């Protein structure tokens, strides 16, 4: 079995879906599980539906209409025959979504979010599966929620590996071509859950682990993993081979080309991960596998935007000791703030935080009761793996630096955006 993942950018329009077939023609499609994300920016568009719905905004209807028109445009471009059953299937998914929202009584944002946003993947996989069938590629459409079981931590669900392994092993994967959704799963009450934004890569890792796949390929709009995000840095270069450990480090520091959770299941079974271009599928791209840490060996630049730099000191200038630190961390955990960098001295403690769930202001109330608190929002965290003095000089040029830190292999700096 091989696992392929096509992200939102690769299926953002009809041409993208047609290109997916071209990729399969070039690289083969026997015994392949294809994980597909929501088309284009549909997850963001569905997030807007959730906001409008819960806040009872007048834009609610328009935001839902946008989801319909986006997908119908793609359908019309792909299928000449308006009688094709796919039109009915997508219409019925959208009316399921409308009915679900009408009947819903919960005001819990995270729960409503997962029940809604998952439609992006449900619709995209329906379209891709029908289009493949239409073009003669027999395939099975699998509902990922029937096999990926999680806890009920909506928007950031944790996989129940035992149940998932059992379900995938038992029934899910037939020989041939299987299409399924990235990003989504279900809890023990069969409510839909999601694995965190950009979680489709992780789904690919889960399926690969549970089927003992020979490889995973994620198809991207870039030639592979580069030594920096090409949207941010100029003259980036392709990394041809990366070890699992190094890739985990790069993803952890924020190289958004691979979702950080994807690598661990692959590493455990030494399943190679390829990151390749969906435009030039025959090109080598990057392979993540056991072996040399980084080929070619060079500095890698990573930036994480919209972070918060928080500094705490004790109200009476006493030391910040283990007890305080453990209390601070349990608050971070409680409010789901991710800690990206830590620096502490005798009387102060600084961290760079990622507030994915917008809980920082609630956290502040607790912290202010016990500590002197300073913070700066909207800062960027820059990381250079395998830094050189030239690389640091290049990065620091024209930056308003708030904090820096380096270890043997990793240089980090927090700067104003
Ligand atoms: P997907 O369509 O699979 O969701 P993403 O948009 O999430 O794809 O990821 C691809 C993008 O990741 C690229 O267009 C690129 O801008 C960005 N990116 C960030 N860091 C890197 C990196 N180190 N190498 C390549 N691309 C990167
Ligand atoms: N569609 C989801 C997102 O945009 C998952 C993914 O694309 O990986 O976050
Ligand atoms: Mg993505």
405 within some domain: yes
Residues 135, 22 within the same domain: yes
Number of domains in the chain: 2
Residues 304, 209 within the same domain: no
Residues 185, 305 within the same domain: no
Non-local CB neighbours of 24 within 8 Å, separated by 6+ positions? 32, 137
Q: Which of 6, 9, 38 to mutate to test the pocket of ligand 2 (most atoms within 8 A of CB)?
A: 38
Q: Is the CB of 198 under 6 A from ligand 2?
A: yes
291 within some domain: no
Q: What tokens does 380 get?
A: 């960027």
Residues 189, 40 within the same domain: yes
Report the candidate in 43, 352, 368, 355 with the shortest Cα–Cα distance to residue 195: 43
Residues 171, 66 within the same domain: yes
Q: Is the CB of 9 under 6 A from ligand 1?
A: yes
> What's the gap in Å between 215 CA and the centre of ligand 1?
20
Atom 21, ligand 1: which residue's CA is nearest?
A: 229
Q: Is the CB of 228 under 6 A from ligand 2?
A: no
Query: pLDDT value at position 346?
Result: 77
Report the CATH number that the domain containing residue 100 is assigned in CATH: 3.40.1160.10
Cis peptide before 296 (omega within 30 of 0): yes
Residues 304, 204 within the same domain: no
Angle of the 42-54 helix axis to the 60-78 helix axis, nearest 10: 150
Residues 85, 194 within the same domain: yes
Q: What tokens does 168 get?
A: 């995938």
Which letter does DSSP use for residue 158 in this model? P
Burial tier of 88 (Cβ tally within 10 Å: 0-12, 13-18, 19+): exposed
Residues 175, 58 within the same domain: yes
Q: Is the CB of 198 under 6 A from ligand 1?
A: yes
Structural domain span for residue 389: 300-416
The C-alpha atoms of residue 37 and residue 53 are separated, in whole angstroms, by 23
> What's the gap in Å between 156 CA and the centre of ligand 2?
12
Q: Is the CB of 229 under 6 A from ligand 1?
A: yes
The C-alpha atoms of residue 377 and residue 396 are separated, in whole angstroms, by 20
The C-alpha atoms of residue 100 and residue 103 are separated, in whole angstroms, by 5
Query: pLDDT value at position 84?
Result: 95
Report the CATH number that the domain containing residue 350 is assigned in CATH: 3.30.2130.10
Residues 63, 166 within the same domain: yes
238 within some domain: no
Q: Is the CB of 164 under 6 A from ligand 2?
A: no
Out of 152, 180, 213, a domain closes at 213
Residues 324, 201 within the same domain: no
- 176: three-class secondary structure by DSSP: coil
Atom 11, ligand 1: which residue's CA is nearest?
A: 257
Q: Is the CB of 43 under 6 A from ligand 2?
A: yes
131 within some domain: yes
Q: Is the CB of 220 under 6 A from ligand 1?
A: yes
247 within some domain: no
> What's the gap in Å between 226 CA and the centre of ligand 1?
9
Query: pLDDT value at position 127?
Result: 98
94 within some domain: yes
Strands 410-416 and 371-385: antiparallel
Task: Provide the phi-psi class of 317: left if phi over 0, else alpha when psi is between -120 and 50, else beta.
Answer: left
Out of 159, 187, 213, a domain closes at 213
Spell out the per-residue pLDDT of the chain, length 417, in tens: 999 999 999 999 999 999 999 999 999 999 999 999 999 999 999 999 999 999 999 999 999 999 999 999 999 999 988 899 999 999 999 999 999 999 999 999 999 999 999 999 999 999 999 999 999 999 999 999 999 999 999 999 999 999 999 999 866 677 899 999 999 999 999 999 999 999 999 999 999 999 999 999 999 999 999 999 999 999 999 999 999 999 999 998 888 889 989 999 999 999 999 999 999 999 999 999 999 999 999 999 999 999 999 999 888 777 777 778 888 999 999 999 999 999 988 778 899 999 988 999 999 999 999 899 999 999 999 999 999 999 999 999 889 999 999 999 999 999 998
Residues 75/90, Cβ–Cβ less than 8 Å: yes
Out of 155, 184, 213, a domain closes at 213
pTM for this prediction: 0.92
The C-alpha atoms of residue 340 and residue 254 are separated, in whole angstroms, by 9
Give exposure, 69-81, as e/b (b: 16+ Cβ within 10 Å).
ebbeebbeebbee
Residues 207, 318 within the same domain: no
Residues 207, 101 within the same domain: yes
50 within some domain: yes
262 within some domain: no
């Amino acid at each position: 079995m091989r696992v392929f993942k096509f992200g939102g950018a690769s299926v953002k329009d009809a041409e993208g879906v047609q290109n997916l077939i071209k990729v399969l023609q070039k690289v083969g499609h026997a015994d392949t599980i294809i994980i597909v994300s929501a088309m284009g920016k549909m997850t963001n568009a569905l997030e807007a539906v959730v906001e409008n719905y819960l806040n009872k905004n007048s834009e609610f209807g328009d935001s839902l209409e946008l989801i319909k028109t986006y997908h119908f445009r793609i359908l019309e471009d792909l299928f000449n025959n308006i009688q094709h059953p796919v039109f009915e299937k997508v219409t019925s998914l959208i009316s399921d979504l409308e009915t679900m929202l009408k009947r819903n009584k919960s005001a819990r944002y995270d729960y409503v979010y997962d029940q809604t946003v998952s439609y992006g993947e449900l619709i995209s996989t329906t379209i891709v599966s029908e289009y493949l069938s239409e073009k003669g590629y027999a395939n099975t459409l699998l509902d990922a929620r029937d096999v990926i079981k999680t806890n009920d931590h909506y928007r950031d669900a944790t996989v129940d590996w035992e149940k998932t392994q059992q379900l995938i092993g038992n029934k899910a994967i037939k020989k041939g071509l299987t299409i399924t959704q990235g990003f989504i799963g279900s809890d023990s009450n069969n409510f839909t859950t999601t694995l965190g934004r950009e979680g489709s890569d992780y789904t690919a890792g889960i399926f690969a682990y549970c089927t003992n796949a020979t490889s995973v390929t994620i198809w991207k709009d870039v030639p592979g993993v580069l030594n920096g995000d090409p949207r941010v840095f100029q003259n980036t270069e392709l990394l041809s081979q990366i070890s699992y450990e190094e890739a985990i480090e790069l993803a952890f520091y924020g190289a958004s080309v691979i979702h950080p959770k994807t690598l661990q299941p692959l590493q455990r079974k030494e399943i190679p991960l390829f990151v390749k271009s969906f435009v030039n599928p025959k090109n080598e791209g990057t392979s993540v596998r056991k072996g040399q840490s980084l080929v070619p060996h060079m500095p890698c630049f990573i930036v994480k935007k919209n972070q918060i730099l928080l500094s705490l000191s004790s109200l009476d200038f006493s030391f910040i000791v283990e007890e305080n630190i453990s209390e601070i961390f349990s608050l971070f955990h409680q409010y789901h703030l991710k800690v990206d960098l830590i620096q502490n001295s005798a009387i102060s403690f600084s961290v760079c935080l990622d507030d994915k769930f917008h809980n920082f202001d609630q956290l502040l109330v607790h912290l202010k009761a016990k500590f002197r608190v300073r913070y700066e929002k909207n800062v960027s965290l820059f990381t250079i793996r395998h830094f050189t003095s030239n690389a640091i000089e290049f990065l620091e040029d024209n930056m308003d630096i708030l904090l820096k830190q380096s270890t043997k292999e990793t240089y980090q700096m927090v700067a104003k955006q």
